[in-house]
Structure 1
Amino acid sequence: MTSARRPSAAHTQGARPYVSGADEARNHVRSAPRPRLLAAFLGSVIAAGLGLVVFSVSTVSLDDITAMDSGQVLALATCLVLIVLGEIRPVMGSSMADPLGVTLSTTFVFPVLLHFGLVPAVILHTIATLLAGLVARKAMIRNLFNVAQYALSVGAGWLVLAAAGIRPTLSDTWTPSTLSDLLLIVVVGAASFVVNDFLVATAIGLMAGISPWTQFRSDLRFQATVSAAQFGLAPLVAVLMEYAPAFVALTVVPMYAIHKSAAASVRSEHQAQHDDLTGLANRKRLIEQATEAINDALRTGEPCALFLLDLDRFKEVNDVLGHPVGDEVLRRVARRLEGALRPDDLVARLGGDEFAVLARRVRDAEAAVTIAERVRAALDAELVIDGQLIDLEGSIGVALVPDHATEYEVLFSRADVAMYLAKADRTGVEVYDSARDVNSTSRIGLISGLRNAIEQGEIELHYQPKASLADQTVTGVEALVRWNHPTRGLVPPDEFIPVAEQSGLMHRLTDVVLDLALTQVAKWQDQGMTVPVAVNVSFRDLLDQTMPTRLAGTLERHGLAPELLTLEITERVLTADMDRARITLQALCDLGVRLSLDDFGTGWSSLRLLRELPLAEIKIDRSFVSRAAVVEEDAVVVRATTRLAHGLGMHVVAEGIETAVAWQAIKDMNCDTAQGWHLARPMPSGRATEWLSERLLGRVPVGHP
């Protein structure tokens, strides 16, 4: 009998309607999380429902049909036509788990059950379902499931009628006439509705890997509202069948009104839960679905994951190509995300160029990363809009339930932390790691300890010398920060530098490091040694436009020429807030400080920015330098980078030279300066002073290290 929901589980997506044959294949029974259980359920429903259909057909009596008067024939024929129309033109529900909507055939199947009984209702609905299936070219298993589902729903309603002593047939019809009859109709309708929704919710739940109860509740209000309106018309239609069958066709008017009203309600609900630009779910829907997925994960033990995705360099697209192109990029990205993900994954746009993906049934973090990498691969595919090739990449943060959180707010926050790290480190995908989260308990303790270290003088510097490859003379040192913890000893910079960057301590730490480095350079100068020093600065430092003023004061306080200081920046600066960073870089250059691009070759660089930024030096990353003597591809990179830098008037430093062979190979490639363990390892200030004085003051001959 009636179906509020009509899609079969064999071809129902958990996230969106089909768009291609590939999507349909992907949602076959075999691709379900529990294919055997799903197949068994579908088989059981189909067997029971078709059995009821066969029974109904077998009990039809030719004498009963020929004995019908013209009014009854007209009523049944009219209902058949209207049931077929109701099946063909459903009301589309807003729940993406139910993409085929709500059929309006209930408006006429239910009165047939009340007036003529089980057999005509089952037969008419079966005919209408098969005809609608042929028109829509549905798969056979879908048609069979829908036929069976409707038959069992009709059967549930008939059982309630029979329990009340009412068993209408073609030859012995029943027409409601009292208030108690109306109350009985409410119970009959409720039984039919519950059985119908239970069957579909179970099938979709097994297909999507979620609990039937969650699926049942997902759009219960919409289903119940539309079905109640249809059930409410049933007594009127039954009365017309008895006393004015010619007027049954007029009930198409209220049916049409139900259709329009439900459609308007769906549009309003859809707009409240979806993004206008892309059609994806919005933040409100994400929260609702994620909360349900978290509860399911905690109940079943099957993890789920939340991905947050931010497009890299999208601001450049908007600024250069305009907002209309930017909007089209977002729409294309939305389609790519949907195409790259599984049927039951929910894709949402949170605003701007930030998207979220709710992935149900994720085995573990490794599986989540695989999904995230598939998303990044989809974004990497060539994108051309109005003849303009647009290069897109995304940074994705991943957090899992229950590994990282058991509540939505915490899960979102931790996915956001992971996304920030993926963007900052340019790794593309990062899974949440409490050790790198400034908001975790251990990290909060580290922040407090670092703040105390800055105040108590626990920060110290080690120095690694650099030498000219041409004449083997010492040309300066690089200052490397260390935290001398009172109980832990030397804390690695990889552990506390990210904390400083995320906690707001970076500026204070940089000021301390610069002051220590320049203090040491002044001491060496007083001892007769002119030793330029290089200091690494964070990209966050370059977003602080007060840094040049503070640095000028520090240089003046120590009485040092700005040329003795080189600030090393990483390629990340070239992809951060370039407008603000450029202002700071130019101010530092105007001050007379040298600027060096560190770890060149490991990130993303624009040659235009290399030409425009006031850089004096490029440091080739050790990953190329250390193998340049034995790997031709790395040698090509070193030679090409050196020629490029010299062509732009820049000095070239090769870091990571650890052997005499590497020293000679890099020298032959025309690099200017060498740095690495072959020359010297990083040393505390006392040992560095001794090493420098031996070479710069003449007690040890300056020569090949």
Structure 2
Amino acid sequence: MTRAAVTVLALLVALTCGAWHGAAWLIYVACVLAFAVTVAVGPLRWRRDRAVWVGIAVGVLLLSVPQAVLMMSGDGSHAGSLQALGDRAQLAVAGVCGYVGLYVGQIMVLRQRVRELLPSVWFDGVHSTTVLAALCAAWVVAPVRSATGLGTLGTVALVGRPMLGLLLFSVALAMCSILGWRSERAVTLMAVAFGLLLVGDGVNVLWMCGVLVGSWWGLAIWLAHLGVLGALGVAALDRGRRSSGRVQVAWSSMASPLAMLLFSGLLLGADRLHQLPAPTTVLALAGLAGVGVKVCMVFGEVLRLGDSHDQALTDELTQLPNRRAFNLALAAEAGPGSRSAKVAVMLIDLDRFKEVNDSYGHAYGDALLKEVAVRVAQRLPAEAVLARLGGDEFAVLLPGMGLQEAEFAATEVLQQLGRPLRLGSVSMKIGASIGVASWPLDGWSDDADLSASTGHVPVSGFTSQERRGGLWSAESADLQVPVSGVEQGSWLGVGAEELLRRADVAMYSAKRAGGGVARYDAAADERARAEQVLMRELDFGLGAGELMNHYQPQVDIRTGHVTGMEALVRWQHPVRGLLGPGVFLELAEENGFMGALTITVLRHATADAVAWHRAGWPVRISVNLAACCLLDPELPSLVEQIVAEAGLDPALLVLEITETTLMQDPDRSRETINRLLDLGAAVSIDDYGTGYSSLAYLQDLPASELKLDRSFTQRLSSDPRTGQIIKSTTDLAHSLGLRMLVEGVEDPATLQLLRELGVDESQGYYHARPMPAGEVSAWLQRAEMDRATNSTAAAPVAEL
């Protein structure tokens, strides 16, 4: 670094000693060549800005080559430079054309970075140049010609450079303003380069006119030109992030033409008082014409942007307002500063719309949506806003309506939609699920608006939860639930977002009820939110190993021998303690967690069974399969892998399947079951008698066990007909070669009745409650000792 500084200092000393002209020319030519190489090895290596830098490089070369020739022709002094400019005026004018290339490069940079560059933006540069040329022709050209003694071309070349440099620098500053002053290094460097170019050209004019005296000014001009090449060269090599801006039509768009109108008028007025050169009048008139062109261009842009704005707020299919337009209307009506004291929202979701698309095609589906839009609009008041949010979902904003009025309007809409309709040759009837909510919101306080800064809405009434791994927070009864789509400073307020969310909750309540109209229910909403929190925690708990198995014995009624263990999932929640499957199993199935949950249970069960077998208790292990698992074609492969990893004999694995699960898709279910049977596993029909109870699948399905639901066991001692049902079912199972197992045995009298009816095995609290895996071996040992001591299967076993 020190050596380089000394070298630069020595060069400057040498240049300032008088014999610097030849070295300056060589250095300048070397810098021009270096810039050309930089553009060749920089932007041309990647396509992002290739066209931009080719244009800028052409402009720099057009500017620099004549400059280099003029430097070579002179001797570096004021007189020599002036003589060279006068002798080669045509070459100097050609050099001015380089500014056009630089201006085109600037506009290309802006076009690449601004999403919507309007034509009137680049026209401002051309228009401003015309008026500046008129001003120079009026009051600058003549004094410069008189001071320098140059001809017309030489004077135009000398004066035109700073004028065009001012244009380039102004555009560069505007680009930095549009794209952000710190958004992109290359744009900032371009502004620096054109600023140096303007300074160098301005100093050159004053030096040529004799205002500035001394050879030092020639050196300053030379250094400024080198700075231009250096700044543009570094900008060409820059590959930093690109900024993005947006040009909008506003009154500020007319600032430039209004200023040009003022200057053109002043020039023409001055010409009336004192005749100005002929070019001044022509250019001033061209400036006035440019104002008219600018006005026409802006007017056309306003029309195009207005049409684009309408399209951005309109659903293309139904020509109704779209989601964005609805949200804008909702934000104006609901929340602080709203226009209405009360307002209601109605969300409409068509029933069985997917069936129409699947059965008749999307053309019929589109026609149906158009017809729905017409029918709903017919039943709405004039001030209502009907919008299509997307798919088959519509929304209605009802200003001035309360909840009861909105519910009545929704009922009328539902009746209108329920009328049969005909699309082409197809007749159909389609219903809808409609949810209604109203503003002001019940239980909503102004404090909710403060949560907009964090994007959360307070939710009260939840039980205490714990935040774990980014989930929901701790020991407080008031949880903070993130509101989707609400950001700080968002144009859709938190209150309006909450109103829309409540209508959505009511709509889903109506859908779960089979269609119709439902109003927002705060209690049901809090339950749903609590379930959502629980599901998030379950998702975390699955990965954190919080789910575990408890096991309940299955006992041979005749001998009292323990034949198997059923795996029953439990959730060891870190705050709420041990949770049974009734708390979370249905929610897990609704939210797509059953696959992961079943695999977790199966892994634990097979590993525990192998441990018991090694301890001398070769009992079979039973695991329940959900419908989604049975329909998964990958299930048999996963079961095979898990059994192999655990080292369990597949014959000791029993997979329990309910009748309802089996009948959801009998063909696919049967295919999966057959593949499981091929692995050597056994199949049990669980909860028999509570589902379809079809005898056909018993004939086709090679199950090994029927498991009678506990509802029959509970009525056995009080209802003689229940005993006959159990007896006939047992006989059916035995005739098909199946084992008969009955659940829900809780007392010795029930066990004795089942023994008399011929049941094979029993399961229930009378034998044992579900227990952790670590307690199974000890329980099996005590049970075997009790069986040997009592020598009867009817003897109860101590509960754990």
- TM-score class, shorter-chain normalisation, is 0.3 to 0.5
Structure 1-normalised TM-score?
0.43
Structure 2-normalised TM-score?
0.39
**Quick check: which has more Rg, 1 or 2?**
2
Relative contact order, higher structure (CA 8 A, sep 6+) = 1
